[in-house]
Structure 1
């Protein structure tokens, strides 16, 4: 069975069932948009899939190979957390040269979006600029699957549009699961949409279902693409 499969994921926090037998899957060529209200468990789910957070029960596999730990998944799956994770006092060109293969590095260094930052250190960048660097490092990594948690946070509208095109470009060879408070950007690039609601996942086949299920207000109907 090819692809990334996460099944029977359960997680209870402070006596509250956050995830209840959740299933989600992803194939190379897919961008899975993961939507849900604040506190619905989206970040928790991504961390469990990645392996950085323990679950009460889980089954995570890539290409039928079960992954039991962060160590086993580190070359197959990369996770972009909500908070910036790069070291402050190292030059960006040095960081990405350690993170990317030599072939990917040459391509990343040629990207106009990252060129202005290469000689800077992370602590010299704004929050949005840090996010651009992190997202692009993930896209040019060798990982087969990427988990993006709030990738557009703090980024200018112009740069968001550029990143969305890059995400679509790299999804040809990678599987991507993405969640962001700016749902319209997620819907714009997602090939498949999943709503996490009351601990369970629901497949969304038409955007109007997001209104019917109470995730979006009725006023959003007029701007949703069908």
Structure 2
């Protein structure tokens, strides 16, 4: 059974049609590369899945049940997490503090409950070990590489036992070595049965980790096919309009 199904999803902002009649399925343990030019509708579609926007038309189902989201916290409660391009990390805090930001662990009773730093450091360390990341819980984020920052952002999604992780340009503006680290993290999420939607303009990265590629152009889905049956040249043609569609 598909973990997520989008059926004829559309979204308009006044006269602007950002997403137009898009249907999509996502299986557990699958990485779907979502590609398209700027303004193609990728971010709008992901924000609909994450609960930021209500669709103007269409329906969503999660594990066979209708899914209606009014705000991001509801998406999180259903196991849908998003890693934004800017990561939304606090540079002056430790890795562990960022992982638990807004979900801090506490100990004590009544009005005497205090932050349980030891438990947060321990749990964060366990998550980084699961992800096979070199990131350490007590390290300050401002001293981290781009790859380590991505590990912190991904670790944050693990607190809620996420079923779906939406990633917006995770390999943008980082070094080749850090790109390899982030792609390895994505593969580990997939191996753990988590579905990943990867928005990226970097063709080699998508072909390295994605099982399937979906291309949007001017708000419409023009391609949805396994990576093994496509090529960078074909995807480029689909993005630019040189190729009409491919399914």
Indicate the residue corresponding to 1:87 in structure 2: 90
Distance 1:162 1:177 in 2: 18
State the secondary structure of the residue aligned to 2:97.
helix
How far does residue 119 in structure 1 lie from its aligned partner after superposition?
Answer: 2.4
Number of residue pairs matched?
216
Aligned to 1:32: 32
| Partner residue, 2:219 | 199
Are the structure 2 counterparts of residues 211 and 86 from structure 1 closer, same or farther at C-alpha, using a change threshold of 3 Å? closer
Larger radius of gyration: 2
Maintained 8 Å contact 2:37/2:239: no
CA distance in 2, matches of 1:124, 1:90: 10
Give the whole-Å Cα distance in 1 for the aligned partners of 2:160 and 2:177: 24
The structural deviation recorded for 1:217 is: 8.7
Give the distance between the partners of 1:100 and 1:160, measured in 2 at CA: 30
Alpha-carbon distance in structure 2 between the residues aligned to 1:174 and 1:148: 12
1:182-193 residue pairs with structure 2 within 5 A?
Answer: 182-193=202-213
Instruction: Find 2:180's aligned residue among 161, 174, 190.
Output: 161
Aligned to 1:114: 135
- C-alpha contact 1:131 1:155 (8 A) present in aligned 2: no
**Structure 1 residues 216 and 120: alpha-carbon distance in aligned structure 2, compared to 1, 3 A threshold:** farther
Counterpart Cα distance in 1 of 2:194 and 2:187: 10
**How far 1:4 sits from its partner (Å)?**
0.9
8 Å contact 2:217–2:239 — kept in the other structure? no
Q: Distance in 2 between matches of 1:184 and 1:217?
A: 20
Q: Say if 1:183 and 1:145 are closer, same or farther in 2 by CA, change over 3 A.
A: same
Q: 1:137, 1:185 → 2: CA distance?
A: 22
**CA 139–152 in structure 1, closer or farther in 2 if over 3 Å, else same:** farther
Change over 3 Å in CA distance of 1:177–1:109 after alignment to 2: closer
The TM-score normalised by the length of structure 2 is 0.75
Find the counterpart in structure 1 of residue 197 from structure 2.
177
Please name the residue that 1:78 is paired with. 81
Q: Could you tell which deviates more after superposition, 125-134 or 180-189?
A: 125-134
Measure the CA separation in 1 of the matches of 2:239 and 2:195: 28
